Amino acid sequence: MTLLMEIFFAVLGAAIGSFLNVLIHRLPEEKSIIFPPSRCPRCGKAIRFYDNIPVISYILLRGRCRDCGERIAFRYPLVEAITAVFSLLLFWKYGVTFQWLVSFAFVCALIVITFIDLDHQIIPDVISLPGIPIFLLAAVFVMKLRFLDAFLGFLIGGGCLYVIAFVYELLTKREGMGGGDIKLLAMIGAFLGWQSLLFVLLCSSLLGAVVGIAVMLAKGQDMKYAVPFGPFLSAAAAAYIFIGDAVMRLILHGA
């Protein structure tokens, strides 16, 4: 029975990941996420239902459109696989509970934000702004986080990045962090609480520095090359769900 449940949650995650791909593609262009059905961007043919099976169809089609042979971006099965993995990991952590549901919804929001930010260097307000009150309430009533902890997470999360962005722009005369990152960290703090913010900021800054320097060296760019910060905030927030408490205890108490 446990194995069947694990398979179910992995398959469910992959199926939802397929929908996340629709959001990632259409939200930045302000298109309907319902109509028209998914179709090949080159030949315009609607994708058949048996060609829309998460991950498996990509493998069977060898990454190409059945009708015109256009290459299908690897991002599609990647998003589906990532969503499946998180669905399973959260099932292992929370079981069949409302905690799984709201945590999975939170991670799905982070996945969509990550790939949109990578593609377009924007974090859509349509996710982060309603996400702040929705995930704050979910944190309080489902995750049993104290309201004060969630509310302070929202205030401190958004406030600290706002101050950093303001000071950076004041000193350098150029924008170093967008408003989307500020709203994203406010949403993260609202759901995970103010106690999560040190871990999220440290982890995301470390990841951002390592990846940013590597990308700039690979592309031959200088230090002014813009690297979106949203994916690193999202990765750190997802990591906090699983290892954040243990890491912070290790850092603060050495045990």
Query: For the segment 233-246, what is each residue's pLDDT rounded down to a tens digit?
Result: 999 999 999 999 88
User: At 253, is the pLDDT very low, low, confident or very high (cuts 50, 70, 90)?
Assistant: confident
The one-letter amino acid at 115: F
The answer on pLDDT for 201 being more than 70 is yes
> By the 8 A CB rule, do 234 and 111 touch?
yes
* Selected residue with higher pLDDT from 114 and 255: 114
The answer on pLDDT for 106 being more than 60 is yes
Taking only the tens place, the pLDDT of each residue in 43-70 is 878 888 888 999 999 999 999 998 888 8
Judge if pTM exceeds 0.85. yes
> By the 8 A CB rule, do 44 and 30 touch?
no
Non-local CB neighbours of 24 within 8 Å, separated by 6+ positions: 75, 79, 112, 115, 116, 119
> By the 8 A CB rule, do 107 and 86 touch?
yes
Residue entry with tokens 């991950």? 55
Average pLDDT over the chain, rounded to an integer: 91
What is the distance, to the nearest Å, from the Cα of residue 95 to the centroid of all Cα atoms in its chain? 21
Stretch 210-216: mean pLDDT, rounded?
Answer: 85
**CA-to-CA distance for 115 and 113, rounded, in angstroms?**
6
Alpha helices in the chain (DSSP H): 2-26, 56-60, 75-94, 98-120, 125-141, 147-172, 179-192, 197-219, 230-239, 245-253
Taking only the tens place, the pLDDT of each residue in 148-173 is 999 999 999 999 888 887 787 777 76
**CA-to-CA distance for 94 and 90, rounded, in angstroms?**
6
The answer on pLDDT for 255 being more than 60 is no
* Selected residue with higher pLDDT from 224 and 26: 26
Stretch 103-132: mean pLDDT, rounded?
Answer: 96
What's the pLDDT score for residue 225?
A: 60
Q: How many CB atoms lie within 10 A of CB 35?
A: 6
> By the 8 A CB rule, do 45 and 37 touch?
no
Taking only the tens place, the pLDDT of each residue in 7-20 is 999 999 999 999 99
**CA-to-CA distance for 51 and 61, rounded, in angstroms?**
8
Non-local CB neighbours of 116 within 8 Å, separated by 6+ positions: 24, 27, 28, 122, 123, 124
